[in-house]
Amino acid sequence: MSDTRRRVKVYTLNEDRQWDDRGTGHVSSTYVEELKGMSLLVRAESDGSLLLESKINPNTAYQKQQDTLIVWSEAENYDLALSFQEKAGCDEIWEKICQVQGKDPSVEVTQDLIDESEEERFEEMPETSHLIDLPTCELSKLEEIADLVTSVLSSPIRREKLALALENEGYIKKLLQLFQACEDLENNEGLHHLYEIIRGILFLNKATLFEVMFSDECIMDVVGCLEYDPALAQPKRHREFLTKTAKFKEVIPITDSELRQKIHQTYRVQYIQDIILPTPSVFEENFLSTLTSFIFFNKVEIVSMLQQLFLFMQEDEKFLSEVFAQLTDEATDDDKRRELVNFFKEFCAFSQTLQPQNRDAFFKTLAKLGILPALEIVMGMDDLQVRSAATDIFSYLVEFSPSMVREFVMQEAQQSDDDILLINVVIEQMICDTDPELGGAVQLMGLLRTLIDPENMLATTNKTEKSEFLNFFYNHCMHVLTAPLLTNTSEDKCEKDNYQTAQLLALILELLTFCVEHHTYHIKNYIMNKDLLRRVLVLMNSKHTFLALCALRFMRRIIGLKDEFYNRYITKGNLFEPVINALLDNGTRYNLLNSAVIELFEFIRVEDIKSLTAHIVENFYKALESIEYVQTFKGLKTKYEQEKDRQNQKLNSVPSILRSNRFRRDAKALEDDEEMWFNEDDDEEGKAVVIPIEKSKTEDDFPDSYEKFMETKKAKESEDKENLPKRTSSGGFKFTFSHSPSAANGTNSANSKSVVAQTTSASSNGSSSKTTNLAASVTATKGSLVGLVDYPDDEEEDEEEESSPRKRPRLGS
């Protein structure tokens, strides 16, 4: 429908006395059979759905406000409003309403707003059958007028009659003339009475009176009357503030006089409501609902007019280029730049009152104007207020369209260095936040999370935004995000462990944990390439428990994926050691850290992750077997032994010539598998421009072939037969396992740490039998892997290493 005269917004008043926007459409008045009467219908301009169907009731009080508003109540606490785009459309519908109710269209209210019980009560009193007689407007009658205004506030019908009398007689302008006389005469008593009168008139809650009081001619005198509160020893200086201190600054030229007047009026009325008028009591809380509505609809009108102004400005490319040049030019005065940024921030805040389609048009206009490249420069400036306002604007843009922001940063990556990319500027602002509580960093982290969330990324027939953007992010931005983490853990210890640094690292870990959950190939490649999990687990030693828990949560998310590539990475790097050390250091304290570590191992047991179970039991069971208040570790041991029995049974069923090759795969086969996995991921997520993972040193040190391993084994066979390990008192065997990081990476270490693990004998029928498998620690050598047995004469040395019973022994202590 192209008729803009009938274009309206529909509003309803909520429980908080705030107006909710129900949609934009076109209004008509027609007879509705179901309602059996003339009705107002509003159909949405977007899809034609019915936004409003309201019968014009002959007894309903309709109010016409500000030339473009019609307000009425359909039931108790259910107020409706139609805001027209054009005055002509409002006049047409108002005539229809007045025609149904038999009223003259010149009236502003079609019915008196009277409560039924009030109506019955006052009908019995003859003095209320006519308008209230107002005293003569003169200085000697001010006290009488004040008493009259105060007395009617408790009666709805008397408020209506007084409002009508004030409007008909032009009484407010006469009162304001008396105010000027009282000020000239320094008549304080008269000024105090005028304060009570004007305050009481505001509480009459009548839009028609507000239009008189808040006109350019009257509003400053109204503010003047409200300065003379009898409760104050000295009058306030509100007019001085509004005229001298509060300066209207035109960040962009406003040539529309109506728009300029509306901005002035809205600011001053908002000042009256927020600053001058005292907080209303429970009795008075509904007296100013119309004042709130007056301000709200003014703001809606301002945003609409400003949007039109921006559309006109958009055609003037020279003007726009000058505005944004001022915003980004280093030579621009700090105050001027602050005004520009705050203007756009407030404009964005006002835009939230617009309908979705209008709000979309507004943000698209801002994007075309070049707001994103301007923010990129402004967010990196030293002025804290400018940066804060720019961050707020950026949050509005990200909330509006993450894809629009992503598209911009990918395009600028082709022309700019990594250091000045918008996302990197945002990350640097997060890292450099000077607030001790990191309030700004938390806000920026939330915005980054939105931008890297695959759930709001679009997929088209020609390209996948997820693949393209994640490739960009991991190539150009991830190193900036992880820099504080990698720097702080470079020496396998926390370089800085103060509270603010710990908070920042916790935020970064939260974002990385999100990446583990939602990015598959990219984050996996990054973790393994940078050995990131090892660096994160250094933070388990932090004195701040919340940071240690963040590091543990990161590992828990990785294990929760049950990905064998991650599992191999963890076992080869012996990355359970810092976790178990943290558990042992925690002692017998029952706290969140204890519960989180136990839950991690319980997950591995319940999900039966065999590779991790075997690694934990073979390397750490001796240190963990004393923990008996949960059955987690005994359960892991049971799972491990059951799997051993199954493997032994399978071995027994395979011809002897094939057994040796059953569980040993050469390095080339492992590398082929890994290469195949990466190729598959490329197909799934698009071509990834990410550096391939380097081969682990451990893999390079594996025997070149199965035959070479067999030669080594045969050479040791006779010695093994003569030097079988001694049984311990529990019926198992003792072994020493090297688990230092260097050993895990395939290099010898003079300071290798060890923990004694107990392997108990078990058989499928429950009876005692000999154990055929001899697990041994892996000592890396250039050509092969050789099993070293821990002989009985080493038992005394192992026992001396045990620590006091009050604290569990720490691994590698």
Tokens coding 16: 């908080």
pLDDT at 739 > cutoff 80 = no
Amino acid letter, residue 273: Q
Q: Is the pTM of this model over 0.95?
A: no
Distances (CA, A) of 255 to 264, 309, 312: 14, 9, 12
Buried b or exposed e, range 149-164, using 16+ CB within 10 angstroms: beebbebbbbbbbbbb
pLDDT tens for 86-125 read 888 898 899 888 888 888 888 877 775 544 444 444 444 4
97 close to 62: Cβ distance less than 8 angstroms: yes
Residue-level pLDDT at 678: 52
What number of other Cβ atoms are within 10 A of residue 243's Cβ? 11
pLDDT at 749 > cutoff 50 = no
pLDDT tens for 258-294 read 888 998 999 999 999 888 887 665 445 566 778 888 8
Q: For 565-606, give the secondary structure using H, E and C.
A: HHHHHHHHCCCCHHHHHHHHHCCCCCCHHHHHHHHHHHHHHH
Q: What whole-number distance in Å separates Cα of residue 353 and Cα of residue 356?
A: 9
pLDDT at 648 > cutoff 60 = yes
How crowded is the C-beta side of 181, counted as CA atoms within 13 Å? 13
Residue 476, H or E segment: helix 465-476
Contacts for 470 with CB less than 8 Å, ≥ 6 apart: 452, 454, 519, 522, 685, 688
pLDDT at 12 > cutoff 80 = yes
Which of 734 and 629 is assigned the larger pLDDT? 629
Distances (CA, A) of 690 to 473, 478, 529: 10, 11, 10
pLDDT at 570 > cutoff 80 = yes
Amino acid letter, residue 352: Q
pLDDT at 734 > cutoff 70 = no
Q: For 34-71, give the secondary structure using H, E and C.
A: CCCEEEEEEEECCCCCEEEEEECCCCCCEEEECCCEEE
Q: Would you place residue 318 in the very low, low, confident or very high pLDDT band (cuts 50, 70, 90)?
A: low
N-terminal to C-terminal alpha carbon distance within the chain: 80
pLDDT tens for 432-461 read 988 888 889 999 999 999 999 998 887 665
Q: Where are the alpha helices (DSSP H) in 401-421?
A: 402-413
pLDDT tens for 251-264 read 777 778 888 899 89
Average pLDDT over residues 643-652: 88
pLDDT tens for 209-236 read 999 999 999 999 999 999 999 988 899 9
Residue-level pLDDT at 690: 40
Residue-level pLDDT at 459: 67
Residue-level pLDDT at 333: 84
pLDDT tens for 672-705 read 555 555 555 444 444 444 444 343 333 344 334 3
